[in-house]
Amino acid sequence: MKLKLKSKSSSFGLLIFMSILSCVWALLSFNVFSITLVIACIFLWLQFYDTKRKLTHLEIERWVNQTRAFTDQDLTINHRIQSPFGDIDASISSHVTASGFLTYNLFEKTLLIRKSESVYVQSKISFPTRGKKILSDFFVLYEHPINLFRHYACYSGKEEILVLPKIMYIESFPSRLRELLPAERSEFKLLEDTTQIKGVREYFNEPLSKIHWKISAKLGKLCVKELDYTAISNTVLYLDLNLSSEIFARKVWAQIRKNYEEDAVIATSSIIYLLANRGNLIDLVVVGKEVLRRNYMVNSDWVSAVELLAKAEGDENGPQLPEEFFKDLYRLTPSNTILIISMYLTDTLLPLLIQARTRCARVIVLLIPYGFRDPRFKPAKTYEMYPLDMQKLIEKAKILEKEQIIVRIIRPNQSLQEVFDEIQRS
């Protein structure tokens, strides 16, 4: 991308003062020294306009090695600078805008920009947070060696980099398999193809016919065959990033919501990545400042869904999840698995979950008020305290689970996979 001159300015107070002083001296005392000073001022003014012309006519190009990246992934940004009107010694810097208002320097350097050859500047950067990052202004500063004058030039060319949320490793997700694959043999109860073994796992309260006896003898513990499926899941995923209007102590929960938003986006991205790579169908609804929807029939790859999540932002007074969920009830089919990721479950949503369950295969609600554990690290002790109404919710959840409405409050020392395994065993 070629950058264009956006603005320019100069500071030359000392040069004006020196010029006036030399003229007054020449008028009062016409001698060799006063004439020499006047001539020096003339040369300084010529240098002033020459450097200004060079600085405001630079040829600057910028390009990035990629416009999509994950958090903490290095990006390489290149600049090519040339001065068509002659050499100039200048200081350069480039800015990046994040979150719409936060600006920080990409680099600051002092170099000699030549007429005969281009100067290349390469820099690396990584972003710790997701979202849109804008490569915006490029600043050039020239300072006279004894600070008699300065020139500033700002070159602009906005270029967007979309930083995607990181994706954690997840082995499995407890969605119901109800979309039959064409030309595949199927028994509706298990939806497993006994001719295709994709792996083994530890035995847990399963039919003896599924035990892999040879592997069990070799490993010294009972292992069962993990069979491939003759069906895929059809998951409708709701991500609630807003603060519920029914929450008490809103100021406290508003602070919790900021950390929850990032955790919830990472969890959603990881689930979508897993399901999409296994050929499952996923519709995504993000309830944030704006309600964002991604329909599987329009775009089936996981990248488009994660890009949508990278741009999503929550709000303390945004649209409410129960309202958006109610609009979609009539679209549900018996093949759907409903997954809701939220910070808080309100009484308004509970009857809607029961209605949804009458139309779909399973409803899963994951509440992440205090985050979850990265699977790369071992669990530690936690001392979190849940509000009383959330503790009462745990008792209600036991009753709902009998009807395949599964509610889980994820603890900070739990990984997502541990919660999913617990749901699969239940």
Instruction: Look at 142-156, 273-287, 316-330, 386-400 and tell me which has the smallest mean pLDDT.
Output: 386-400
Burial category of 357 from C-beta neighbours within 10 Å (exposed 0-12, middle 13-18, buried 19 and up): middle
Using one digit for the tens of pLDDT, what is the confidence trace for 75-101? 898 999 988 888 888 888 888 887 666
Greatest pairwise CA separation for the chain in angstroms = 114
Residue 368 and residue 410: Cα distance in Å, rounded? Answer: 5
Residue 194: pLDDT band (50, 70, 90) is low
Q: What is the pLDDT of residue 186?
A: 40
pLDDT at residue 404 greater than cutoff 80: no
Using one digit for the tens of pLDDT, what is the confidence trace for 340-399? 999 888 778 888 988 898 888 889 999 998 889 888 888 877 777 766 666 677 777 777
Residue 153 and residue 4: Cα distance in Å, rounded? Answer: 10
Closest to 333 in 3D by CA, of 353, 357, 351, 352: 357
Task: Give the three-state DSSP class for 93.
Answer: strand
Provide the residue count of the chain.
426
Neighbours of 405 (CB within 10 A): 20
- The two tokens of residue 177 are 């398999």
Angle, to 10 degrees, between the axis of helix 250-277 and the axis of helix 302-311? 170
Closest to 90 in 3D by CA, of 154, 14, 15, 43: 154
Q: Say if CB 314 and CB 255 are below 8 A apart.
A: no
pLDDT: which is higher, 101 or 334: 334
Q: What is the pLDDT of residue 183?
A: 44
Closest to 176 in 3D by CA, of 234, 239, 237: 234
Residue 112 and residue 89: Cα distance in Å, rounded? Answer: 4
Q: Say if CB 339 and CB 366 are below 8 A apart.
A: yes
Residue 34 and residue 177: Cα distance in Å, rounded? Answer: 95
pLDDT at residue 184 greater than cutoff 50: no
Q: What is the pLDDT of residue 409?
A: 86
State the sign of the Cα–Cα–Cα–Cα dihedral 209, 212, 213, 217. negative
The CATH code of domain 4-164 reads 2.60.40.10
Domains of the chain, by residue range, sit at 4-164, 177-184+233-425, 192-229
pLDDT at residue 286 greater than cutoff 90: yes
pLDDT at residue 236 greater than cutoff 70: yes
Residue 153: pLDDT band (50, 70, 90) is very high
Residue 139 and residue 136: Cα distance in Å, rounded? Answer: 10
pLDDT: which is higher, 177 or 64: 64
Using CA atoms, how far residue 61 sits from 119, 271, 360, in Å, is 11, 40, 55
Fold type of domain 177-184+233-425: Rossmann fold (3.40.50)
pLDDT: which is higher, 250 or 139: 139
- Write down the mean pLDDT value for the chain: 83
What are the start-end ranges of the E strands in 150-290?
150-164, 177-180, 192-202, 223-229, 231-240, 281-287
